[in-house]
Amino acid sequence: MKVLFYRAKYGNWQDRFVALWTWGPHSHCELMFSDGSCFSASARDGGTRFKKITFLPERWSAIEIDIEDEEPLRDWCRSNAGLGYDWRGIAWFLPTPLPHIEDRNKWYCSEICAVALRKFLGVRLSSRLSPNGLYRKLLRRLQS
């Protein structure tokens, strides 16, 4: 299994804004299962979904994750597919007085990926991570 991180320079202005605001090169992340299907939350796709993504190393950074059995994680993803995109949840990325409110009926990409990795791999991660924050945390975990 891999966690994919989209390089914002290949995206639109919104991708570049997210990357700039969150101090890194990435604007989006996906969980990629061994069969190539991906799961995440996407504003472009209207929320949580499975999607076939062609992995192009120049457009995506990838971090390999060891998992013995993907099926419980895939089942959890299925149970969360079709939920909305969490626009209010990403407000904490912006300079705003709004508190972070978790809504388990809506997700943003790095939030759902972090929760899934925490639940099924025992990786200690906050759900309040940007794609760049999640990338840095996973890299540190691999290096330790």
pLDDT of amino acid 103? 67
pLDDT at 120 over 80: yes
Structural domain containing residue 57: 2-143
pLDDT digits (tens, 9 = 90+) for 71-90: 999 999 999 999 999 988 87
pLDDT digits (tens, 9 = 90+) for 11-23: 999 999 999 988 9
Phi, psi of 80 (to 5 degrees): -105, 0
Q: Which two tokens stand for residue 111?
A: 């939030």
Strand partners, 5: 29, 61
In Å, how far from its chain's centre is CA 24?
14
Phi, psi of 106 (to 5 degrees): -145, 145
- Domain count within the chain: 1
Assess contact for 16 and 132: CB atoms under 8 A: no
Q: Among positive and negative, which fits the CA dihedral 41, 46, 51, 53?
A: negative
pLDDT digits (tens, 9 = 90+) for 31-82: 999 999 999 999 999 999 999 999 999 999 999 999 999 999 999 999 999 9
CATH number at residue 127: 3.90.1720.10
pLDDT at 96 over 60: no
Whole-angstrom distance, CA of residue 14 vs CA of residue 85:
15
